[in-house]
A and B are shown apart, each in its own frame.
Chain A
């Protein structure tokens, strides 16, 4: 992976860099997917961060909970009817006690679905090449472009510097 990037000390500068890259991206032959922002912490309240805030993870977790409930209920009732235990005239499949198991499987379904959705949507695990810099862990924000066209490099470097970067790096 080839990339051109700069590090910014404050999120406003990073936002300026992202904005200018997006504005000139079309003329330089850069798609929005090529613009990368990497930070050591979340930055809520900035467009470069908030544009990714839309997620269906809540809906998917709810569906996972419903699936967990149905699976739990089916499992319990199947067991109770296929291998019935002597109950002294009491119900073979009592709703109250089955409700407790179903409740737990509902929550388990929601939790597991949440984690799977996180991993899929955040593209984890991912052990391929990635754009990073040790200075990120000192609180800097990386803004860069992956696989930039050769002829666009000088213009990209200029824009990254204009946004407030003291140094532009390439990998």
Chain B
């Protein structure tokens, strides 16, 4: 598909100024889910944390499941974007911003959940390490505090990683739109001019950020896994929990990214930019991580089974053939049995195929987080400490609200910022080998006349490559 710079900007800025009824419908649905969550949270604040289904011995359940799940989803964006940037994979260009936005929003949602879990959430700032008359200082030996620091670092880095490449696009929007948006983009662009010096500094900064953010992303989910693995209880005290969680996080994150891209493609009419080839590439990545997930899950469970420790076996049997067996096998189906053929067979690895696989994977990975947490807490070392857990409507509503919040943030973001980085796309078009080949025989006037755009330089290449 041949696209001029002008067409690229027109296509990508259009969703900012035009709003379809489908968009408002989506906002209404997502907003209703968030409002339901606000109501549930208000109910919880008024009545206390007892309205959750938590009880001895299960003090972590839906909330921490959601926390781990959303932190995992956040791994789609910045990590994948950074890897693709460093690898100079040119197909990344239409994908990166969609991905980076997922990271920032998913991390923000994930970070809110522990605050909701506090007995008195309005006093959450007591957790912040500052000297006070309470003399309560955080325990730096606790994985929960490592979590706080790691998520803070990742959220800061990811937000900046998202915002920096938006500066030139805000500069373009500033000069091309009118009304209140012009003021907004003037502020967002920070007075961007587009001089060679600014471009070089931005690219250098993005390169360094990409290098720095990859180890941070890996550390974040490793540390989340240590919330569990540092505890000597059956099912958790495992040396492979770090990589197991990182693989699971990227797995669920890529699935989330594919779903987000498919929705953007449909609702913002970005068919010319988010092409089947992108879904094909991400589908292959998803397939790789599906296989890795199976490998890690098998390794984790067979080690417990072979060791035959009584406490470990109790958790294992409760998970795979006890009360949690339906959820466990649903998880296996969702994470491997259904996605594997859809992603492995080239003919099925279409946009629809990858979306179906991604849907099942998102469900499967949520179940996986739940199955890591609850069976262990229900089935600790001694039978006298065993218990059971079932969620209340408050927890279910807050879980649903998390998804609604993600959708709402994404929808609002898509109205404020072009969901595809325009300058990176143009740079990619210009650098594409086909452009150089055709440039030898390039006739600007004839091509411009054909495109019907006086003054615009035609780029005769496929923007997705």
Residues of A within 8 A of B (CB): 9-10, 36-43, 48-49, 51-53, 55, 57-58, 61, 65, 75-76, 79-80, 83, 85, 87, 94, 97-98, 100-101, 103-105, 107-108, 110-112, 114-115, 117-119, 121-128, 130-132, 134-140
Contact A118 B423 (CB under 8 A): no
Interface residues of B in 198-226 (CB under 8 A from A): 198-205, 208-209, 212-213, 215-216, 219, 223
Contact A55 B457 (CB under 8 A): no
Contact B204 A135 (CB under 8 A): no
Minimum CB–CB distance from A9 to chain B (whole Å) comes to 5
Known contacts A58-B204, A100-B223, then 16 further A-B pairs from the complex at CB < 8 Å, ordered by chain A residue: A37-B196, A39-B196, A40-B194, A41-B423, A43-B199, A48-B196, A61-B212, A65-B212, A98-B140, A104-B152, A110-B212, A118-B204, A121-B197, A122-B198, A124-B167, A138-B9
Interface: B195 (CB within 8 A):
yes
4 tightest A-B contacts by CB? A139-B5, A126-B191, A125-B190, A42-B199
Interface residues of B in 371-396 (CB under 8 A from A): none
Checking B176, B209, B427 against A41 with a beta-carbon cut-off of 8 angstroms, the contacting residue is: B427
Nearest CB in chain A to that of B13: its residue? A137
Contact A125 B175 (CB under 8 A): no
CB neighbours (8 Å) of A97 from chain B are 140-141, 146
Minimum CB–CB distance from A167 to chain B (whole Å) comes to 10
Write out, one digit per residue, whether chain B residues 284-304 have a CB within 8 A of any chain A CB (1) or not (0): 000000000000000000000
CB neighbours (8 Å) of A40 from chain B are 5, 168, 172, 194, 423, 426
Contact B215 A42 (CB under 8 A): no
CB neighbours (8 Å) of B160 from chain A are 111, 115
Write out, one digit per residue, whether chain B residues 397-433 have a CB within 8 A of any chain A CB (1) or not (0): 0000000000000000000000000010011001000
Interface: B352 (CB within 8 A):
no
Interface: B248 (CB within 8 A):
no
Interface: B66 (CB within 8 A):
no
Checking B129, B175, B208, B426 against A139 with a beta-carbon cut-off of 8 angstroms, the contacting residue is: B426
Contact B175 A137 (CB under 8 A): yes
Residues of B within 8 A of A (CB): 4-6, 9, 129, 135, 137-141, 145-146, 149-150, 152-153, 156-157, 160, 164, 167-168, 172, 175-176, 186, 190-205, 208-209, 212-213, 215-216, 219, 223, 423, 426-427, 430, 444, 453, 455-457, 459
Contact B208 A104 (CB under 8 A): no
The CA of A35 and the CA of B167, in the complex, are separated in Å by 23
Minimum CB–CB distance from B38 to chain A (whole Å) comes to 32
Checking A42, A124, A140 against B203 with a beta-carbon cut-off of 8 angstroms, the contacting residue is: A42
CB neighbours (8 Å) of A36 from chain B are 195
Contact B6 A138 (CB under 8 A): yes
Contact B175 A52 (CB under 8 A): no
Q: Which of A38, A55, A124, A138 has the most CB of B within 10 A?
A: A138
Contact B176 A137 (CB under 8 A): yes
Contact A132 B208 (CB under 8 A): no
Contact B198 A41 (CB under 8 A): no
CB neighbours (8 Å) of A10 from chain B are 444, 457
Contact B208 A58 (CB under 8 A): yes
Minimum CB–CB distance from A154 to chain B (whole Å) comes to 25
Minimum CB–CB distance from B194 to chain A (whole Å) comes to 5
Contact B186 A55 (CB under 8 A): no
Nearest CB in chain B to that of A118: its residue? B205
Q: Can you offer 22 A-B residue contacts whose CB atoms are under 8 A?
A: A40-B168, A42-B199, A42-B202, A48-B196, A61-B212, A83-B135, A97-B140, A101-B140, A101-B145, A101-B149, A108-B156, A111-B160, A111-B212, A114-B212, A125-B190, A126-B193, A134-B175, A136-B175, A137-B5, A138-B6, A138-B453, A140-B455
Contact B197 A52 (CB under 8 A): yes
Nearest CB in chain A to that of B7: its residue? A138
- Knowing A38-B193, A124-B192, A138-B456, the reply to whether A108 touches B157 (Cβ < 8 A) is yes
Checking A122, A126, A127, A132 against B197 with a beta-carbon cut-off of 8 angstroms, the contacting residue is: A122
Contact B150 A137 (CB under 8 A): no
CB neighbours (8 Å) of B216 from chain A are 104, 107, 111
- Knowing A42-B203, A137-B9, the reply to whether A9 touches B444 (Cβ < 8 A) is yes
Contact A53 B200 (CB under 8 A): yes
The CA of A76 and the CA of B149, in the complex, are separated in Å by 12
The CA of A125 and the CA of B102, in the complex, are separated in Å by 26
CB neighbours (8 Å) of B140 from chain A are 76, 79-80, 97-98, 101
Minimum CB–CB distance from A85 to chain B (whole Å) comes to 6
Nearest CB in chain B to that of A75: its residue? B129
CB neighbours (8 Å) of A134 from chain B are 175-176
CB neighbours (8 Å) of A136 from chain B are 175, 194
Contact B193 A104 (CB under 8 A): no
The CA of A48 and the CA of B381, in the complex, are separated in Å by 70
Nearest CB in chain A to that of B425: its residue? A41
The CA of A131 and the CA of B193, in the complex, are separated in Å by 8
- Knowing A40-B172, A41-B427, A139-B456, the reply to whether A107 touches B215 (Cβ < 8 A) is yes
Contact A138 B4 (CB under 8 A): yes
